[in-house]
Amino acid sequence: MAESSVVDSVGSFDLKTLREREFPELDRGGDIYLNSASTGPIPTRTVQALDEWMQRRQRPQTIRVEDEFAVSRLARERCAALIGADVEEIALSGNTSGGVNLAARTLPLGAGDVIVASEGEFPANVYPWMAVARARGAELRLIPRAGAWPDEEALLAALDDPAVRVLAVSWVSFSTGYRVELARLGAACRERGVYLAVDAIQGVGAAELDVHACQVDFLACGGQKWLLSPWGTGFTYVRRELVEQLEPPAAGWLSVKGAETFSRLMDYDLTWYDDARRFEVGTLPCEILAAMGASLSLPLEIGMPEVARRVAMLAGRIVAWAESNPSVRLLTPSDPARRAGIVAFVPPDVEGVAGRLADAKVSFSLRLGGVRLAPHYFNTVAEVDAALRAIEG
């Protein structure tokens, strides 16, 4: 694989310029960061936005209430733009778990109802459903995998049970990088009157998504991985038609109409917002949301089609290497449509490979007996190739 066959450019940005401006720390110390599926690096613009707001917080007299609401509004707008949603369908949250719990606690589940999910899900997309099933007398039905991947045919077949009310899936698997065919699942759910709830943290920011086209009802996404946002950031998408049907599980002073009009604070009118803000509880951290908004501006400037193309190219390079090595068992689908940025594989000597990667200063993860690499759009072909050479020893 000759690096000269691949152009290291990202949209209108030369990759070298982009890295110098937004990711200067990546070129210090000879490290190679291929672990965005765990924690994404923070761009310079994000650090600057956070610093600016922290400095303003030292002089709070410089902060107007309108400034705080503007930060939240911009963050919602950028979250919506990334997934093809309307801003009215976005509620800000602190992590993926918050969004999954919101879905579990607001959807109308009762005794005898069934929630379908796949075995092998990340716990954040299992425990909330287990808890609500226990509390309401419902059943969480985990469908066995087909090998290492979710068995989509079995998931679809499970939807034919009239007791099924929710299908809970991860768009992209944290352990194998397998990407479900979300549009197909969404169509099947809508046809049967089943709610589709999606944990999307391992896909949003690495691949393109249109939640309307895929007929998603709920989507939860933390910002600290592929969105390169600070810890404690995230958002939840709630389909517009559902927003006014669902009662918020918790009430807050910012969840109701007129909350931004401080002269009406003591009217005590529990009339929820007509949009997804009804699901936001309490004062939001402006400095963190400003940083999140800065992070999200970067893929939107580059263009998600270009980001997704580049991530697919880098991931495809690892896939091609794994497929060319008979001793390596690839856990990630080779079909680009069935993966995003994660590539997982099992070499014959996992411990030896882990040691060589560490010696080469490559950041990676071990998941469920395999090696997981997660290149993002800021990575270079040279970095990916150097990691593969280290694996080979």
Determine the pLDDT at residue 350.
95
Average confidence (pLDDT) over 7-16: 70
Alpha-carbon distance of 291 to 53, in angstroms, equals 9
Alpha-carbon distance of 276 to 259, in angstroms, equals 14
For residue 4, pLDDT over 90 is answered with no
Residues 6+ apart with CB under 8 A from 62: 56
CA-based end-to-end distance of the chain: 17
Alpha-carbon distance of 218 to 195, in angstroms, equals 8
Determine the pLDDT at residue 11.
59
Alpha-carbon distance of 63 to 49, in angstroms, equals 14
Average confidence (pLDDT) over 9-33: 87
Report DSSP state, residue 270. Answer: -
Alpha-carbon distance of 243 to 248, in angstroms, equals 9
Residue type, 230: P
Backbone angles phi, psi at 69, to 5 degrees: -65, -35
CB neighbour burial string for 73-110, b if at least 16 within 10 angstroms, e if fewer: ebbbbbbbbbbbbbbebbbbbbbbbbbbbbbbbbbebe
pLDDT, one tens digit per residue, over 75-119 is 999 999 999 999 999 999 999 999 999 999 999 999 999 999 999
Q: Is the pTM of this model over 0.85?
A: yes
Residue 226: both structure tokens together: 């592929």
Alpha-carbon distance of 263 to 293, in angstroms, equals 29
- Domains of the chain and CATH, by start: 3-30+303-392 (3.90.1150.10), 53-300 (3.40.640.10)
Average confidence (pLDDT) over 279-302: 95
Alpha-carbon distance of 359 to 66, in angstroms, equals 50
For residue 2, pLDDT over 50 is answered with no
Determine the pLDDT at residue 385.
97
For residue 225, pLDDT over 60 is answered with yes
Residues 6+ apart with CB under 8 A from 122: 170, 174, 175, 199
